[in-house]
Amino acid sequence: MPFLRLSRRKRGEERSAGQPAPPGLIDLTPSRPLSFTEKFDAIAFSAFGDLGARLARTFELERLLAEAGLNVHPAVYGARVIFVTYLAIVAVLLALLPVIYLPLPLPAKLIIAIVLAMIPVYTFLMGLMYPQSKAGERSRRVEYELPFAATYMTTLARGGISIGKIIEKMAESKVFFAMRNEARRIMREVRFFGRDILSAIEYVAARHPNRLFKDFMLGWVSVIRTGGDIVHYLEAKTTTLFEARINAIRVVAERIATFAEAYIIFAVIGSIGFYVFFAAGSLLGIGGGGPQALISFILFSFIVLPLVSLATLVVIGKMLPPSGIKLEKSKRVVLASIPLALVLFFLLTAVTGVLGNIMAGNYDKKTFMLTLVATLVSLEAVAVPTAVAFLSETRGAKGLEHSLASFLRDLAEVRKTGLSPERSLVYVARRDYGRFTWIVRQIAARVAWGFPLRKSTEAVLKRVKDWFTVMILTFLVDAIDVGGGSPITLDTLARFTSVLAELEVDLKRRTRPYVFMPYFGAILTAVATVMVLQFTVQTLTAAPQEALGGLAGFTPEQFWQAATIFSMAVLVNSFMMGMVAGKISARFTEAGFLHAALLTAIVAAVVLALLGGA
């Protein structure tokens, strides 16, 4: 009987990789080198294994890790959290040593010590909250894809496909992401742990954080075991999911509205107040004047506000459904444009002499104009190429939802005449479906030339950057290849596609009004601050010198200094507001560069129109 040998081999007994174990032994040598995470977990568990197990029991880490889909033992994860916290404590103690001897006031040392002491606490809390965060992200992504997956399952079930084959097809699907991972978890339980397909579905669904997914899958299993009408159940549950999706879209739109309004209030009211304070202080030489005010202005305008805009992009991205399409070309363009834009800005300011004037503190109208132009050109150098790449990648991908639904309805009707699915597709391609026409005609042409339907569709869909279209056509191909593409199957797909198209259009319609809020906010910020600058200058110019007292030393340099710094700040933040507008409008971050290019140019024109004649 074979036995385990866990002890270390003696020197000279090491086997080379790939050499079989001696008879009667089970080889426990790793087939690959341990990763950094595995080594880190091994050290953590050996040092804090008992504490990790207690932590896991106290905070129910087993349930949280299962819901998050993290394949790590609860005690190991608990030991990992404790070990990371321990390392953070050591790092904080080492950082506190030089702080003690720094020539700083005692209150400053106390503040630094309190901030550093919060780092281990934050690290520990983040370690405990990470599984909850992953579980929430898993639930959100599955909930978005579930109506589409239910449509896919119903279509295949209508074609007579078994539940095991449906899960297997979904695990191999390229159009799903979250649901594909869930299907792979189910297939893993079947292939590696020997469960039957129904038990595997129950095991995965019972530990899933999303209630809709759990009810849908467990109900499906129950209907199969009791011998119920599977197709009727799937169609009824799919309709229920559509209704839930409608309510979810309404909630998403309301959340985006609330967050967009809060962002605009902070960006506009905060910016106007801070800009006005800085501008008036710079011109009057009191309160907001001086190097400290300049540093505060730079920190607020070029660090705080852009960070708030980036945080807004991330939060809105979490609220909106995922786009499902990767725009590789646009990402490469933006990564290449950013360093080129920085080099371009410094070249423009150096060649025109603006950089030297700013360093020397010499501000005039020419410095203001050239700085504004250099900032505008540098920002446009990032925005315009990326916007062009985005438009090139997504060309012809808008407004396809209703055309696709009409195509499927026509295909189902022609299929009822007795023509094969391929012949029906070629016949329907003669009709006009608007922007969708070129897609269906390209597929039909390849099919008419004798290429298989799946290869023809996949070849055409490589040029389509609309996830909804790619998904539905993939459903169609699977329904025909696997289920035979019967008229009732195609009719079911067409019916559900119409509802899904309405859901997609409804989401765009509800979020469209909030696209214009960043435009309004950026233009309002620029106009309000320029008007304050002009009003302050007119007041100082018109007032008698003896009435100004200590303010009689006002010079035009002070005005142009404030105008130069303000123009750079307002353009940068207009750029970021345009990014937010694009994220709301198209769900792609890359779409923000189109709005950023437009909004930055508009704000620059407004500033030049108001200050160009000063």
Q: What is the pLDDT of residues 460-516, one digit of tens each?
A: 888 887 778 888 888 888 888 776 677 887 887 888 788 877 777 777 787 777 788
How much of the chain exceeds pLDDT 90, in percent? 20
Q: How many domains is the chain partitioned into structurally?
A: 4
Cα end-to-end span (Å), the chain: 96
CB neighbours of residue 206 within 10 Å:
11
d(CA 467, CA 461): 10
Q: What backbone phi and psi angles, to 5 degrees, belong to 25?
A: -115, 145
Per-residue exposure over 227-250, b if at least 16 CB sit within 10 Å of its own CB, e if not: eeebbebbbebbbebbeebeebbe
d(CA 546, CA 191): 92
Report which of residues 179 and 471 the model is more confident about: 179
3-state secondary structure of 264: helix
CB neighbours of residue 452 within 10 Å:
13
At 222 the pLDDT is 93
107 with 186, same domain: the answer is: no
What digits encode the pLDDT tens for the residues 38-88? 888 899 999 998 999 999 999 989 999 998 888 899 999 999 999 999 999
Q: What is the DSSP letter of 266?
A: I
Residue found by looking up tokens 């030297």 in the block = 356
CB neighbours of residue 319 within 10 Å:
16
d(CA 567, CA 367): 11
Cα Dmax for the chain: 108
d(CA 555, CA 570): 23
> Long-range pairs for 247-254 at CB < 8 Å and ≥24 separation?
248/143, 249/503, 249/506, 249/507, 249/510, 250/510, 252/319, 252/320, 252/321, 252/507, 252/510, 253/507, 253/510, 253/511
203 with 268, same domain: the answer is: no
Neighbouring C-alpha atoms within 13 Å toward the C-beta of 89: 8
Does this model's pTM top 0.75? My answer is no
d(CA 280, CA 537): 9
Three-class DSSP labels, 374-426:
HHHHHHHHHHHHHHHHHHHHCCCCCCCHHHHHHHHHHHHHHHCCCCCHHHHHH
Q: What backbone phi and psi angles, to 5 degrees, belong to 361?
A: 80, 20
Is 240 inside any structural domain? no
Is 10 inside any structural domain? no
At 525 the pLDDT is 84
497 with 508, same domain: the answer is: no
298 with 378, same domain: the answer is: yes
Q: What backbone phi and psi angles, to 5 degrees, belong to 218?
A: -65, -35
Domain finish residue from 106, 134, 162: 134
Assess contact for 185 and 68: CB atoms under 8 A. Answer: no
Is 195 inside any structural domain? yes
126 with 160, same domain: the answer is: no
Cβ-Cβ contacts under 8 Å for 574 (sequence gap 6 or more): 522, 525, 526, 596, 599, 600, 602, 603
Least Cα distance to 383 among 587, 579, 588 occurs for 579
Is 113 inside any structural domain? yes
Quote the mean pLDDT of the chain.
81
3-state secondary structure of 222: helix
Beta bridge partners of 26: 4
Domain finish residue from 105, 134, 163: 134
40 with 177, same domain: the answer is: no
Cβ-Cβ contacts under 8 Å for 65 (sequence gap 6 or more): 72, 74, 77, 131
At 501 the pLDDT is 78
Is 6 inside any structural domain? no
422 with 280, same domain: the answer is: no
d(CA 316, CA 93): 38
d(CA 602, CA 571): 10
At 3 the pLDDT is 38
285 with 390, same domain: the answer is: yes
At 1 the pLDDT is 37
Assess contact for 263 and 312: CB atoms under 8 A. Answer: yes
CB neighbours of residue 67 within 10 Å:
19
302 with 290, same domain: the answer is: yes
412 with 309, same domain: the answer is: no
- Is the pLDDT assigned to residue 22 strictly greater than 60? no
CATH of the domain at 497: 1.20.81.30
| Span 186-213, average pLDDT | 92
Tell me which H or E stretch contains 25. Answer: strand 25-26
Is 120 inside any structural domain? yes
128 with 183, same domain: the answer is: no
Which range of residues forms the domain containing residue 527? 245-397+503-543+554-613
Model confidence at 393, in pLDDT bands (50, 70, 90)? confident
Give the β-pairing of 3-4 and 25-26: parallel
Is 31 inside any structural domain? no
| Span 433-439, average pLDDT | 85
d(CA 292, CA 207): 56
Distance of CA 431 to the CA centre of its chain: 38
Model confidence at 290, in pLDDT bands (50, 70, 90)? low
CB neighbours of residue 95 within 10 Å:
13
373 with 508, same domain: the answer is: yes
Assess contact for 527 and 610: CB atoms under 8 A. Answer: yes
Is 5 inside any structural domain? no
d(CA 274, CA 445): 62
Domain finish residue from 80, 109, 134: 134
What single letter denotes the amino acid at residue 554?
F
| Span 80-98, average pLDDT | 91
d(CA 597, CA 574): 9
